[in-house]
Amino acid sequence: MLWIALHLPQLPLQALPWSQAGLELALPVAVAEPHRLLGANRAARALGVQAGQSVATALALVPQLQVVPRDTDREAALVERLALALAALSPSLSLTDSGLLLEVRASLRLFGGLRPLLRRARQLARDSQLHVRSACAPTAAAAWLLATSGVIRRHRPQARSCTQQLDRLPTDALRALLPLAPRQAELLEALGVQDLGALRALPRAGLQRRLGHELALALDRAYGDAPDPRRWFEPPERFACRRELMQRADRAEVLVAAVQVLLPALIGWLQRRWLAATTLVLRLGHEPSRYDPDRPPDTLLWLQLGTPSRDPEQLALLWRERLQRHALIAPVYEIELVLEAAVPHGGRPGELLPLPGQANDEHAALLDRLVARLGADRVQRWWPVADHRPEQAQRALPTHAALPPPAEVTAMPRPAWLLPAPLPLACDPTLEQPLHDGPLRLCSRAERIEAGWHDGALVRRDYHVAEGRDHRLRWIYREHRPGPAAPASHPGGWFLHGWFG
């Protein structure tokens, strides 16, 4: 087995509501439980505040320090969100209080080895705006000890190298596996044991009698001398990820950045279940205004995808277009990304040459971007209808609507631009020569269209392709007899119905 440990050393601080970069430098913030600091942000550390100090000492150094109590529920939610993002790397994940462990032996060939897999894991953590320490080892406990100690310099998954690295770790590193009682720490100090190598060299019977069976078992699990069963992480059946904002957002750019942090978890959840998203919902929670104490209702923004996707760049681009088009009714204090609908999607095989359907995928991605920017009511597609009348031969459908079976398209020439209504043309005294900026020359034989008897809109027309003095091609017709489409002043006259490109 091969384990990768990802430790979140700043988890109590990073689990606080999301803040802007400017706030990180302006306001000193620290997290405490209950009277000891667990972490401090950059502004507080610059003033001398460090993790491990008492709250009284930190406030004496920095009176303006904002001390926030630890929120274990938010920490657990943050670890779970990172686990969802990393679910695309390995199905075997085990969560801890301050990070997670991945068993990646079966994933090495898929990602090209351990180093690319480690880089991918760190990149997913950075995309989730989390700072992690990583380590790899043949056992889960050893990987966790190396990651939490922070002294590892090079990742060496071999058992011999891992044993040498573990031997050099201080005995205090065992606190990452189990809490050490004050009596145990005092006894280790009295024996002069400073690292795990010296602790492991002590007689086993005396070690268990004086320091306890649990400490000896944790040491054996780290070195691979005892089994270490783990509980695997199971993703939720429905994806819904919530994030609270520390600064009330009233601009689309802030919301776009907040949504992008949630996308890695969505992509990992979809890849874990071999799905692709078709419908997403973003819930925006608003805060009450000072002039209106009633809280405005939450805003729901829907994102419909023409082609199912789990591409993070495409989804980020679509949400950017969607949020920039939406006008906020009030500042936002929290967001929640919900997956409403998804379809099975097995991915795409790697090919040297582009696949035949790649152009269609790019076209669908362009339609999704236009819908996100302009709105679904302003982007439509034309679909052929089984009707010979040109003005009835097609209809507009939403881009994401289910398409009916296509009708057979005639092989006769049809213009690219059809006028909203036929335009009457002037004629010579004989009514045989149509005029439009001069006489028109007929370039084709007559095409008879006679239809509409079933709905009371009967037309009987003879269509021609005609060329004018400007050498542009027109689509004109002549009424075979006076009908509903022909004005009374032009019985049986000529009409312009479209232009060829």
SS (H, E, C) 175-208: HHCCCCCHHHHHHHHHHCCCEHHHHHCCCHHHHH
| pLDDT for the residue numbered 319 | 93
* CATH number for position 304: 3.30.1490.100
Q: Are residues 249 and 212 in the same domain?
A: no
Asked if residue 467 has pLDDT above 50, the reply is yes
Q: Are residues 208 and 117 in the same domain?
A: yes
Q: Are residues 195 and 279 in the same domain?
A: no
Q: How many structural domains does the chain have? A: 3
**Position 26 in a domain:** no
Asked if residue 388 has pLDDT above 60, the reply is yes
Q: Give the range among 223-227, 412-416, 464-468 with minimum mean pLDDT.
A: 412-416
Q: Are residues 171 and 312 in the same domain?
A: no
Q: Are residues 252 and 136 in the same domain?
A: no
**Position 396 in a domain:** no
Q: What is the mean pLDDT of residues 11-39?
A: 76
Among 192, 223, 254, where does a domain finish?
Answer: 223
Q: Are residues 89 and 121 in the same domain?
A: yes
Q: What is the mean pLDDT of residues 423-442?
A: 87
Among 178, 195, 223, where does a domain finish?
Answer: 223
Spatial separation of the C-alpha atoms in residues 481 and 477, rounded to whole Å: 12
Q: Are residues 88 and 157 in the same domain?
A: yes
One-letter amino acid identity for 26? A
Q: Are residues 262 and 329 in the same domain?
A: yes
Q: Are residues 213 and 146 in the same domain?
A: yes
Q: Are residues 338 and 366 in the same domain?
A: yes
* CATH number for position 154: 3.30.70
Q: Give the range among 110-114, 124-128, 288-292 with minimum mean pLDDT.
A: 288-292
Question: pLDDT tens, 241-254?
Answer: 998 887 778 888 88
Question: pLDDT tens, 259-285?
Answer: 999 999 999 999 999 999 999 999 999
Is 271:308 a contact under the CB 8 Å cutoff? no
Kindly report the pTM of this predicted structure. 0.74
Asked if residue 368 has pLDDT above 60, the reply is yes
DSSP one-letter string for 122-187: HHHHHHTT---EEEEESSHHHHHHHHHH----S---SHHHHHHHHHTSBGGGGGGTSPPPHHHHHH
**Position 380 in a domain:** no
Q: Give the range among 28-37, 223-232, 408-417 with minimum mean pLDDT.
A: 408-417
**Position 431 in a domain:** yes
Residue found under tokens 């490109």: 501
| pLDDT for the residue numbered 20 | 43
Q: Are residues 341 and 456 in the same domain?
A: no
Quick one: pLDDT band at residue 464, thresholds 50, 70, 90? very high
| pLDDT for the residue numbered 500 | 92
**Position 93 in a domain:** yes
Q: Are residues 255 and 313 in the same domain?
A: yes
Is 340:400 a contact under the CB 8 Å cutoff? no
Instruction: Give me the domain span that covers residue 425.
Output: 417-499
Question: pLDDT tens, 208-234?
Answer: 888 888 888 989 999 988 998 999 999
- How many beta carbons lie within 10 A of that of residue 343, not counting itself? 11
**Position 449 in a domain:** yes
Q: What is the mean pLDDT of residues 427-434?
A: 82
**Position 365 in a domain:** yes
Question: pLDDT tens, 309-334?
Answer: 899 999 999 999 999 888 888 889 89
**Position 411 in a domain:** no
Q: What is the mean pLDDT of residues 326-347?
A: 88
What residues contact 430, with CB distance under 8 A and at least 6 apart? none
Q: What is the mean pLDDT of residues 457-465?
A: 90
Asked if residue 235 has pLDDT above 50, the reply is yes
Q: What is the mean pLDDT of residues 367-384?
A: 78
